Chain A
Amino acid sequence: MTEGIPDYRIPVGDWVERGVDWVQDNFTDVLDGVSDGLGLVIGSFEDALMAVPPMLLAALIVALAWWRVGWRFGLFALAAMALIFGIDIWKETVTTLALVIGSSLVALAIGIPIGIAMARGDTVEAIVRPVLDLMQTMPPFVYLIPAAIFFGLGKVPGAIATLIFAMPPAVRLTNLGIRQVSREHVEAGQAFGCTDRQLLLKVQLPLAMPSIMAGINQTLMLALSMVVIASMIGAGGLGNTVLTGIQRLNVGLGFEGGLGVVLLAILLDRITQSFGRAKQGGPANARSGLIVRIKQTLGKTKQEASGV
């Protein structure tokens, strides 16, 4: 007994353990369902990416980098692909890419609607905010253990841990983006007779798009940063390479894995950012970029063709 500290104990740890046991005993079906669903998403992503011939996939990535960001970045992407082939981590990179994109997509599919709900109700915000704080500050190792207990070892618990870690920015920035839409824009929507749903789809979401895209970008980055940790419970991919390097004290192997993560991070970051940023106040700014850009490009071609 340490001096000056009141003598009582709240068995929080016991409660959590009992809670975990209870969930495991009573919700086996639910857990299995989640496991199968998530496994299917991640698995099919990986299968699809693996099915593409490596050279073709690499060429696609380079082309995307070139088109979205610029020719300099296209060259960088080319060099990065050559390096990844050269140090023989292509398979691991693709596995990681599938895990990151798959769990990010699920995180966004859950996170963005929650963000919208938060923006529309102060009560929802008051409830969700502390949960997000918890998700972001709780060390990932702590929920890695129950994830492994619930879902066994492998990609699914890795994806769950990644999901929990990576979702908060998507929720927060969706909420923020919608709340930052100016009062007059919202009033304009209402004054012209928008229903709540029209207001959301035609005014609030398009105007919040830069912020939402920043959230998507952050989610991807955080998902990538979970790669090494998730590989501890068997998620595989580049994290495995790093982990093996650490376990064998093989500095070179660890560095190669790390380098793969870094290259993937740079590519994902710059490419997703390009969708959110575009021209400030410009058309591509709001409507997620891609569609508008294609439309514009087509429009220009049409105009040129008709000699205008």
Chain B
Amino acid sequence: MSDKLVVRNLYKIFGPDPDEAMRLLEEGLTKDEIFARTRTTVGVRDADFAIGEGEVFVVMGLSGSGKSTLVRMLNRLIEPTRGRVLLDGEDVTAMNNKALIAMRRKQMSMVFQSFALLPHKTVAENTAFGLEVSGHNRAQQGAQALKALETVGLQAVADSYPYELSGGMQQRVGLARALATEAPILLMDEAFSALDPLIRTEMQDELVRLQQKDAHTIVFISHDLDEAIRIGDRIAIMEGGAVVQIGTPEEIVTNPANEYVRSFFYGVDVSKVFSAGDIAEDQVLNVFQRADVGVHAALAQLRDHSRNLGVILEHGNKFRGMVSVKTLAAAVDRSGETRWEDAFIRSVEPTPQDVDLNEVLSRVAASAYPVPVIDDDGTYKGIIDRQILLQTLDRAG
């Protein structure tokens, strides 16, 4: 994944004396101390990260943590005090007004928390807004707007006015307006925060679906962790203007950088953070390669280790089945040739690794045995039993 958007040592200081504030920052003073001394507010301090092409990068933080400021510096709705923003290697912060406007028209579009649709324009006209200001002709505007509206499923209301639509539909128009310019980067400022929970989830799913079809590079501001986990490839957590941690949802949940980050996850629904593949363990059960061992040998080994269960794999570590001492013994006792198939526990079915924890929970609860986990090719990844599940839930709580 190549870097689409690179942020280097970005600072924003609001107020009368940014230079003095920068000096105090270098001395190591906090945001509050600097405000008390100079009446200047540190909006963002030393943000430094890279966002890959096609990545959904979520910026999280409490209000006042600088996340809105950070995102607005990417398209320079807010001018950075120091530092650089590089788009495909080109310095956005050094652009003159003309280049900046061209960049906004072609490279970056934006979705707003309050939708910010124009009440005097129809849905189609609103969607075409970006094309209108960049001077596309009417036919192009109409065609591209309609395409964008189809993408979000709103072509039927193209001639309605925004006030005739529900909040969720209005935000779909906001999204369509951003998609219509075909800009590769979307900035989404708390885009779903004003919607009620059900619609919000629906819109998140919609965004995930859009990403699968046509991947944009998305910078998404949110204060909702569940949302960040649902849609984010990586999450950046901001506190007092500084980015305190960047990582995948799993990394941040398992290994929070400080108490502030940890507090975000207090009471969070971990079942959405982890999938089956994340928590499956492959050291718990004895593993037998079907080609290497016979049924008798497996039974003997299990008894030796005083283990009850074993997993049988085929060449390439493909999962074949799970056996217990009891089923192995029964297969051996049966007259004639002993076959592995006779020893497999019939109720055990493998679970794909991308199944989320909620689903795993119900499978583990319903089964008397641990649940084996496989990847897309059927390769064995490990098992999840009740103990592993409880440990996971406990760690996150």
Given contacts A187-B77, A192-B129, 18 further A-B contacts (CB under 8 A): A184-B116, A187-B72, A188-B110, A188-B112, A188-B129, A191-B104, A192-B177, A193-B104, A193-B130, A193-B134, A194-B101, A202-B132, A202-B133, A209-B120, A282-B161, A283-B161, A285-B120, A286-B118
> Which of A187, A194, A287, A292 sits near B116, CB closer than 8 Å?
A187
Instruction: Pick from A191, A198, A202, A281: contact of B119, CB below 8 A.
Output: A281
A-B contact pairs, 30 of them (CB 8 A): A182-B116, A184-B114, A184-B116, A185-B116, A187-B72, A187-B110, A188-B112, A188-B116, A188-B129, A190-B104, A191-B77, A191-B104, A191-B110, A192-B104, A192-B105, A192-B129, A193-B104, A193-B130, A198-B133, A202-B129, A202-B133, A206-B120, A207-B119, A207-B120, A209-B120, A282-B163, A283-B120, A285-B120, A286-B119, A286-B120
Q: Which B residues are in CB contact (< 8 Å) with A137?
A: none
B112 with A193: CB separation less than 8 A:
no
Residues on the A chain within 8 Å of B120, using CB = 206-207, 209, 283, 285-287, 292
Instruction: Find A190's partner among B77, B163, B177 (CB 8 Å cutoff).
Output: B77
Whether B108 pairs with A191 at a CB distance below 8 angstroms is yes
- Residue B113 is within 8 A (CB to CB) of chain A in the complex: yes
- Choice from B109, B118, B122 contacting A207 with Cβ under 8 Å: B118
Q: Which 6 interchain pairs have the tightest Cβ spacing?
A: A286-B120, A193-B105, A191-B110, A188-B116, A193-B104, A192-B130
Closest to B108 in A: A191
- B219 CB within 8 Å of chain A: no
**Minimum CB–CB distance for A276 against chain B, Å:** 13
* B130 in contact with A283 (CB, 8 Å): no
- Assess whether A191 is in contact with B75, with CB atoms less than 8 Å apart: yes
Q: Is the interface of A mostly helix, strand, loop or mixed?
A: helix
Could you mark each residue 193-219 of chain A with 1 if its beta carbon is under 8 Å from any beta carbon of chain B, else 0? 111001000110011010000000000
| Contacting pair B110 A192 (CB below 8 A) | yes
Shortest C-beta distance, A173 to chain B (Å), equals 18
CB distance from A308 to the nearest CB of B (A): 11
- Bound-complex Cα distance A224 to B116 (A): 39
Q: Are B118 and A203 in contact (CB under 8 A)?
A: yes
1/0 per residue, CB under 8 A from A, across B107-140: the answer is 0111011101011101000000110111000000
Query: How far, in Å, is B191 (CB) from chain A's closest CB?
Result: 11
Chain B: which residue is nearest A193 at the CB level?
Answer: B105
User: B324 in the interface, Cβ–Cβ < 8 Å?
Assistant: no
B94 CB–A CB distance under 8 Å: no
B299 within 8 A of A: no
- Provide the residues of chain B in CB contact with A185, threshold 8 Å: 116, 118
In the assembly, what is the distance between CA of A32 and CA of B378, in Å?
95
Task: Count residues on chain A whose CB falls below 8 Å from chain B CBs.
Answer: 25
For the complex, is B275 an interface residue (Cβ under 8 Å from A)?
Answer: no
Chain B residues, CB < 8 A from A207: 118-120
B309 at the interface (CB under 8 A from A): no
B-side interface size class? 20 to 34
The smallest C-beta distance from B96 to any residue of chain A, in angstroms, reads 13
Which A residues are closer than 8 A to B by beta carbons? 182, 184-185, 187-195, 198, 202-203, 206-207, 209, 281-283, 285-287, 292
B residues in contact with A192, CB < 8 Å:
104-105, 109-110, 129-130, 133, 177, 181
- B102 interface hit (Cβ, 8 Å): yes
B60 within 8 A of A: no
CB distance from B221 to the nearest CB of A (A): 13
* Nearest CB of chain A from residue B79's CB, rounded to whole Å: 12
Chain A residues within an 8 Å CB radius of B161:
282-283
Binary A-proximity of B360-371 (CB < 8 A = 1, otherwise 0):
000000000000
Q: Which residue of B lies closest to A199 (CB)?
A: B133
Q: In this complex, what residue of A is CB-closest to B131? A: A192
Closest chain B residue to A206 by CB distance?
Answer: B120
Interchain CA distance A195-B129 in the complex, whole Å: 13
- Interchain CA distance A31-B116 in the complex, whole Å: 47
Neighbouring B residues of A193 by C-beta, 8 Å: 101-102, 104-105, 130, 133-134
Task: Give Cα A186 to B393, complex, Å.
Answer: 45
B56 within 8 A of A: no
Question: B73 near A: Cβ within 8 Å?
Answer: no
Given the contacts A193-B104, A193-B130, A283 and B110 also touching, CB distance less than 8 Å: no
Contacts of A194 in B (CB 8 A): 101, 133
A290 to chain B, nearest CB (A): 13
B298 interface hit (Cβ, 8 Å) = no
CA distance A182 to B108 in the complex (A): 21
Q: Determine the residue in chain A with the shortest Cβ distance to B75.
A: A191
* Contact digits for B340-368, partner A, Cβ 8 Å, 1 yes 0 no: 00000000000000000000000000000
